[in-house]
Every structure is written in C-alpha cells, then in structure tokens.
Structure 1
Amino acid sequence: MEQKLSIYNTLSREKEVFEPITPPHVGLYVCGPTVYGDAHLGHARPSITFDILFRYLTHIGYKVRYVRNITDVGHLENDSDNGDDKIEKKARLEQLEPMEVVQFYTNRYHKAIEALNVLPPSIEPHASGHIIEQIAAVEKILENGYAYESNGSVYFDVVKYNKDYDYGILSHRNIEEMLNTTRELDGQDEKRSKVDFALWKKASPEHIMRWPSPWGDGFPGWHIECSAMSIKYLGTEFDIHGGGLDLMFPHHECEIAQNTAVEKHRVVKYWMHNNMITVGGQKMGKSLGNFITLDEFFTGSHPMLTQAYSPMTIRFFILQAHYRSTVDFSNEALQASEKALSRLLDAYARLGKIAVSETSSVDVAGLSQKCYDAMNDDLNTAIVIAHLCDAATTINSAIAGTVSLTKEDVVVLKEFFDTFLFDLLGIQNEQGQNSAGQEAFGKAVDLLLQIRAEAKANKDWATSDKIRDELNRIGFDIKDGKDGTEWKLR
C-alpha cells in the first residue's frame, strides 16, 4: 500500500501532504551543530527527529539527498552581529588553532550521535569550506539591491527587502514591531536599520578566522552559510529545510530573505522545526548553562543525574513525544523510558517462547498499517510506540496463555517490531538478540540454567542456588515459572 506522508509546514502553519518537487528525489537540508563544545541533549533532538524523517522517506520509496551542515565559522556570541566568533573564542581560551577546536568537537559530535544510532547524512559540508560560495551569494544580493557595504562589512537591507517581499513570513513577525523592540547595540552605527543583519563582517586586526573578499579581509555572517550550501547541493528549489524551533528566528527567517534576494523566488517548499528539550520548563542550552552533555548521560557523571542512561534510552525518551512537543528532562521520565523500552525488547526476545495455536484470538494483522497511519500523520512516533506497547502486551499474554496466536501471527509480530522499532525508530537491540556473538552469549546462559535445572531435579540445592545467586550478582534477573526459567540482563 502506497504511503502518503503529511507534514506540518511551519511556513503555512498547516499540515500538508508531502509532494516532492522532482519525485522520487527529495532534497533535505538540516542545520547541524556549531562545533565549539560537546553535544548535549538539546543537540540530540534535531539529530534524532530528522534521522526519523530521513529513514521514513527512504522506507516509503524516496531517494533522499540529506545535507546536514557543520557551522565552524561566523556564529557570533549574539545575534546582533557583534562579539567574538564562538569557535575563535574557544581557540583563544585553549590556545589552539580554530580548526583544531572544530575537528575535536566534530569528532566528539559524530561519536555521540553515532551512539544514538543517527544515520550519517548524504553530505556534511563545513561553512569554512564554502567561503567562495558565500562571497558569491553576498555579491548577488548586492547586485540585486538588497544589501549594502559599510566600513568593510556587508549588511542585508531588511527594510528595502520587506517592501518587495515579506520579511517575517516564517516566524510571522511584523517588521514595524521588530524596529520598535530591537535594542540598540554596539556597532549598530554601521547599519542603516537596527534590524539589518550581517552578510560579511570586516575582520579586526586580532581576528584569526579571516578570508580575503571584495570588501577586504573578513568572515561570513552566520546566516549566509546555510543559504549558500543548501543551494549548492540541493539546487535553487528543494523540498525540506529542518532544524530546531530556536533557529526559526532569526536564522531561518534570514535564510529565506537571502535565498529570495539571490534567486528572486522562494527556494524551500516545506519548513520543519522540532521543539525544545526543557529543564524545569526552561530551554536546555549552552547559553543558559543548564545543559547535560550526551557523554554525561551515557556515564551518569552530571550532578543532575541519578544514574547513567544508555544511548537507546535517550533516543526512546525523545521519540516518546511528538517532535513538535516540548520534552521536559527529569530522571523519573528517563527511568520510565528505560523500563518501557526494556519491556518492548523483552517482548521481542520472548517471541520464540510463544506456544502457537491453530487459531488466533487477537488481530495482529492491522498493527503495521496503524503505525504507518501514525508516521504519515506528521511522524507521530509517540503513537507508533503506543502500538508497539500494545503488541508487547499481546506477546506477554500469549506466553501466559490468556490469548492464542498462530505461527503466522508470530511472524507478523516479528516483522512488525523489525520494521517499526528497529528500522524506522532506529532502536538498537541492546539486549543482544541479533548478532552471532550475542546469540552464543544467550546460549551460554541457557546452558547454565539447564545445569541448574538438572541440579534442582537431583535435589542438589547448593549447586542450584549457587548458579542462581552468581547470575544475580553479575547482573542477571532469574525468574522461575511454571513454564521454566527465564532470564534477562538488568
């Protein structure tokens, strides 16, 4: 059955049926990290959200070119186009070359999101590797009359652009309100209006990251990088641009203005934004100092954490909420996610223990389409997880003998978990039921339990208790039941 995906387009503020510009090819651009520090939970959410989109589009038959950038120049301390470049500032503090900082944190970012089973993009361009394209874009905007040079810097003329187009079309902000509410900051005297933003900044004598340009040595503004790189790799019209909700203004708003000023038409068809991770209702982020890095989650080393959490627990925690909903961090919520995921993996592992019947007392055939319906409804992973939990209940009930399943039902359930839990939600089976080495590990434990069962049959209670106690001590839960003994790793 052909699947039709509907996505919420931030531009129109409506759900729209996804129709690629040139099917079956899809162009997807997502704003990646600024690499001046370790990835934290806030970085994990867009990485996972658009990994789900990438997986699903591919699964339903599209050929996706997925571009996710690395910001390694031009991201200043604030959005007024003033202050230090964040990477250069880090380089000065640590007495390193800026590109050493970039490489170090890019490597760490990759390691962290690979642990979360985030698939790599098709292309991962760096802003610093596309200075020529950014200069060319600035020149085109100047040529088209929507920018001006001032003291070696180039600024986008928002007021002039707004007369011909609509600055604020994405964030639905009114330029008059912005003019009244934007505060005066140092360096504003270079601008014609305080809402104008930098396309190219003149480098001060002490500035390390600098490139020659028609306007003198300088560096690109933050916003121009994504316009230049997305158009280079996806063309002058492409399907989807994504990122965190915090990027909608000013970053994505400025991108739309730049794209339109260069191409004289709208470049991106659908804009998608994931919502924020919060701590006590406040956005988690480096600027607020309330973030927990992914490494700290994996090791449990942050003071706010009561334990370590596996990468799959983190992924599952994020996917339990719709991507446009906020997710509030708490240890209790993460522990609940850990238990829920463990229950799903336990159920999957127990499929082989079902005593099949000739007839079925429950309908499992419709589960897959229910999950497709949820995914087609703006990637509603929360509903998919709810259906997976229902399937786990059915498996456990079948093992307990309260419902009956046929051999065909068991095959359907396995395929259902394989497709939706593992392939589309991207959960890795940490309980180890799939690889040859893990299978051998399971067989070794089963052998120990068989020896224990023989000891019990021979009333050798000392040997039986020793095997049980030692397995418990090293991290196994052993459960004796009427149908035999079951085990799992804690």
Structure 2
Amino acid sequence: MENKLIIYNTLTRSKELFVPLHAPNVGMYVCGPTVYGDAHLGHARPAITFDLLFRYLTHIGYKVRYVRNITDVGHLEHDADEGEDKIAKKARLEQLEPMEVVQYYLNRYHKAMEALNVLPPSIEPHASGHIIEQIELVKEILDNGYAYISNGSVYFDVAKYNKDHHYGKLSGRNLDDVLNTTRELDGQEEKHNPADFALWKCAQPEHIMRWPSPWSDGFPGWHCECTAMGKKYLGEHFDIHGGGMDLVFPHHECEIAQSVASQGDDMVHYWMHNNMITINGTKMGKSLGNFITLEEFFTGSHEILAQAYSPMTIRFFILQAHYRSTVDFSNEALQAAEKGLNRLEEAVSGLERLTPSKETTGIEGVKELRGKCYDALNDDLNSPIVIATLFEGARMINTVLDKKATISSEDLDELKSLFKLFMTDILGLKEEKNNDEAREESFGKVVDMILEQRMKAKVNKDWATSDYIRDQLASLGFEVKDTKDGFTWKLNR
C-alpha cells in the first residue's frame, strides 16, 4: 500500500517517512502508567496521543499490534536504585496486599480511559507477570559483558557499553554529561560508576515483592520491563516506541542500551514522544504534587477548577495542540475548548436538519476538506490542523442552515462522511449525553415521527387526521409551524 505518513523520530531528531518493518503489520509499544494512584491529566496526554496514532494507522490499512504496559509492583521508579517500591509502601501503610493496590488503581485508570474514549491496546502486559523474561534479559547482558554482579545486585556497565556504542544517543547526552548530572544515592558504593543503573536488585528485608534469581532474591530494575516485554510481544525489531518526553532520559535511553547490549542492535525503528502538560509553566505530575486527577476534572471537585469538564472536553483540549508542543493548563483554556467542541457538535447536529438542493451554491471547497485532513495527519499527526479544517466545514454547514447557501445531496453526504471519519473515528470525539439529554432526544424523535404522520395525512388530503394531530399537540403545549421544507415545532413550557 502507498503510505505518506511522516512522523518525527526522536532518535534522529527529524521527520521521516513511516516505513513499517513488516508491512502491513505494525508493532507499537507505549509506556503505560505506574498504578499507585489515580490517573491525572498528565497521563491523559500520552494515552490520547497514541490512541490517535493507533486509530490512524488502523484506518490507513495497517494491522497494528499495540502493546501498552502496566508498571505495577516490585520495582523502584525512575533513576533511583534504593528506597521502597511505592505500591508496596502504599500496601504496607494501608494493610493491603500490593496487588490489591494495583487492581484498585488499574480499574480506575481503565474507567478514566474509557471515559476519554481511548481504545484498549491489543496487549496490556504487567511488569510483575514477566519476571522470567526480565531475568533472561539480564542474563544476556551479563553474558555479553555489559553488566556486573555486586552484592547480589546486577548493574549495567555504562562506561564499558559507551566504548563500543553511544550511550546517550536518544537524549543527545554524552557520558560526561550523564556523570555530571547523576544524583548521589544510597548504595552507590555497589556501583563501578555513578551512571550505572540497576538491572536486578537484591531485596532488602522490608521489600515485600521479591523473586528468586541466579543472583539473589530480589526484583528487576525499572528499565528492564519494557525491553523484555517489547521483545516478547513485538520481536527483536519493531516499529514504534512511544511515551512522554520525560521518559527520554533515563528510561528510554537505558532501554536502547539494554536492547543493544543483549541482542547486538537497536530494537526500535522509530521513537515518538509527546510533550508535557504544565501548570503555570511547570510540568504536571505526582512527584511535584501539582497534578489534578481526571476524576477531579470530570466532577469539578479540585479547588482550582472553576467547573467540571467532560471527558470529551479534556480530549479536545489535548488534541487542539500538536502532540510535540507543550500544553499549559488553565480554566480559560479548558472553557475555550468546551465552547469549540460544542460548536463542532452543533454543526454535526445541524447536518441532520439540512435539506439537499440540486446544486451547491454560496460555499466552496467541500470536497477539498478531506484532503486537508489527510495532509494534516500525514504531517506528523497534526491534529490542530484537522480540527481547524472541521471548523471550516462547520462554517459551511451553518451558512446553509442560515439559508445563505445551498448544498447538493453529494456534498451533504461528503460532509456527513467527513465528520464521521475525522471527528468521531480518528480524533475519537464521541457525542456525550447525560440521561436528561438522551431522554429529551428520544422525546424529540417521537414528536418528529408524529408530525411526519401528519405530513403524510396532508399529502393524502386527510385533513381531519392532520388537524387532529395538530390540535392534540397544541393542547399539550406544542407550537407547530408548517414550512415549505416540512415543519418546525417547539414546546412552550
């Protein structure tokens, strides 16, 4: 198949034509959440970004195996080599099994993703379910001479690896930079070099989750899980690895080093990273304590929120910005996104009220909109341009609704198809209705059906039935007006 998709490869720092390794199959791995707390807005951005990519790749004809991992128990997070697993700590404080903590927050994460209309991945592996694969990975790295054993732990030898390869090629760092920015941590005396990172840690007595290994009862280093699970489900070479920009270093840098050290070459063809969501210019995240959970957004319960924001407002807010640009949170920005989404939804609703004419007059370019949307998505998933193009289509719809233009049946069908494909199927912006709105819509459809029966009676010159329906509706408070195109009605409450 002909493919024009151009994506920005973080590894090469350039836009590249996307050429899958095993077309028409695409392997995509995205770093999922660490489940020790509720999902926040920062979690929503990578989920929505790579959901857009998943949807679009599928639409243009690829069979996508989308793997999104769950980082659960038994590890230390980020570049720390000492301390307590956050999930295990929470379990100990709340007197729960660690997996109870995992399951509770994972259920809530899935519920939030469903609300955001994020499609489930093809495979969602857990780190704790792949300890054997991680142990095998560590063995391979040891056998190839790029790791060493120290007091029951295994560390990656960054300096030795850097002599043969380039440690830092994803983040653009050199080893001196890494050494100068490496934090002093407890347990550094076990390492040959402060930049070395743990592949396996010997468990301290207080560490709840531990597994037997050739080196000690312990647990794998944080970076091992993605390398091991990516290889298991996507093979030694796959197309796309994605995640937030905060994972470039050290996590994804270490993943590259692990894959090369274990198998001799890079595992990933394209690296893609979404930028951060910020509050007043500062990254939003658990570690900084400035995050707002998705549940708080949906209910409006956080103190800095002016109102509740629907899941589709959040999704639209994120898609309004290109995935590689920073998005700064504010109530004003979210309220603007809510108004913009409402305008698009009203335009889609208006499509059903349009009556086609013999030809299109007063508007131009209906058939060009589809090409503009494809061009935007093919240019590194430029969702803001797709949204701008949909607004262009909305203006055309409103012009016809205002009787300032006419539209042919062919162009009307094209607009309906356009909004269904790009707004609903690819951008994933589904219609949201609460129970009252759903009941009101059903109520309106019933009234329309009754009035259509009245129209048929008029066509058949059954004036008695026509007048009876009109009078009965009037007695219930309905005001019915006949028009040249049919009828309109409203309920005087």
**TM-score scaled by length of structure 1:** 0.90
Which residue number in structure 1 is paired with residue 115 of structure 2? 115
Residues 353-372 of structure 1 mapped to structure 2, 5 A cutoff = 353-361=353-361, 362-372=364-374
Number of residues of Structure 1 aligned to a counterpart in Structure 2: 466
Q: Summarize deviations over 1:420-476 as a string: whole Å, max 9, x none.
A: 0000001111259xx99886343147589999xx9xx99x99975xx79xxxxxxxx
Segment of structure 1 superposing worse, 181-190 or 298-307:
181-190
Q: Summarize deviations over 1:293-347 as a string: whole Å, max 9, x none.
A: 1111111111111111111111111000000011111111111111111111111
- Contact 1:28/1:241 (<8 A) preserved: yes
1:403 has 2:405 as partner: yes
CA–CA separation in structure 2 for the residues paired with 1:355 and 1:447: 17
CA–CA separation in structure 2 for the residues paired with 1:264 and 1:136: 15
Which residue number in structure 2 is paired with residue 39 of structure 1? 39
When residues 77 and 424 of structure 1 are mapped into structure 2, their CA distance, relative to the original with a 3 A threshold, is closer
Look up the SS of the partner of 1:350 in the other structure.
Answer: helix
CA–CA separation in structure 2 for the residues paired with 1:486 and 1:337: 30
Which residue number in structure 1 is paired with residue 460 of structure 2? none
- Contact 1:77/1:84 (<8 A) preserved: no
Shift of 1:395: 0.2
- Contact 2:78/2:250 (<8 A) preserved: no
Which residue number in structure 2 is paired with residue 237 of structure 1? 237
Residues 65-464 of structure 1 mapped to structure 2, 5 A cutoff = 65-76=65-76, 79-361=79-361, 362-431=364-433, 440-444=442-446
- Contact 1:82/1:187 (<8 A) preserved: yes
Look up the SS of the partner of 1:57 in the other structure.
Answer: helix
Shift of 1:181: 2.8
CA–CA separation in structure 1 for the residues paired with 2:273 and 2:440: 38
Q: Summarize deviations over 1:57-106 as a string: whole Å, max 9, x none.
A: 00000010000000013442551312111111111121111111111111
Paired residue type of 1:88:
A
- Contact 2:278/2:327 (<8 A) preserved: yes
Look up the SS of the partner of 2:176 in the other structure.
Answer: helix
Segment of structure 1 superposing worse, 255-264 or 93-102:
93-102
- Contact 1:147/1:155 (<8 A) preserved: yes
CA–CA separation in structure 2 for the residues paired with 1:100 and 1:259: 32
Shift of 1:363: 2.3
CA–CA separation in structure 1 for the residues paired with 2:360 and 2:303: 50
Q: Summarize deviations over 1:25-60 as a string: whole Å, max 9, x none.
A: 000000000000001110000011000000000000
CA–CA separation in structure 1 for the residues paired with 2:22 and 2:2: 18
CA–CA separation in structure 1 for the residues paired with 2:385 and 2:75: 37
- Contact 1:141/1:258 (<8 A) preserved: yes
- Contact 2:33/2:70 (<8 A) preserved: yes
- Contact 2:80/2:185 (<8 A) preserved: yes
Look up the SS of the partner of 2:273 in the other structure.
Answer: strand
Paired residue type of 2:36:
Y
Paired residue type of 1:401:
K
Q: Summarize deviations over 1:220-260 as a string: whole Å, max 9, x none.
A: 11000000000000000000000000001000000000000
- Contact 1:355/1:399 (<8 A) preserved: no
- Contact 2:73/2:102 (<8 A) preserved: no
Paired residue type of 2:336:
A
- Contact 1:198/1:221 (<8 A) preserved: yes
Paired residue type of 1:138:
V
When residues 170 and 151 of structure 1 are mapped into structure 2, their CA distance, relative to the original with a 3 A threshold, is same
CA–CA separation in structure 2 for the residues paired with 1:224 and 1:443: 56
- Contact 1:322/1:382 (<8 A) preserved: yes
Shift of 1:185: 1.9
Paired residue type of 1:430:
E
CA–CA separation in structure 1 for the residues paired with 2:297 and 2:450: 34
Which residue number in structure 2 is paired with residue 477 of structure 1? none
Structure 1 residue runs without a partner (length 5+):
469-482
Look up the SS of the partner of 1:242 in the other structure.
Answer: strand
When residues 122 and 77 of structure 1 are mapped into structure 2, their CA distance, relative to the original with a 3 A threshold, is closer
Moved over 6 A (4+): 435-438, 447-451, 460-463
- Contact 1:88/1:208 (<8 A) preserved: yes
When residues 486 and 180 of structure 1 are mapped into structure 2, their CA distance, relative to the original with a 3 A threshold, is farther
Q: Summarize deviations over 1:191-224 as a string: whole Å, max 9, x none.
A: 0000000000010112100000001100011000
Paired residue type of 1:429:
E
CA–CA separation in structure 1 for the residues paired with 2:438 and 2:412: 22
**TM-score scaled by length of structure 2:** 0.90
- Contact 1:73/1:220 (<8 A) preserved: no
Q: Summarize deviations over 1:162-212 as a string: whole Å, max 9, x none.
A: 000000010001111221232322110000000000000010112100000
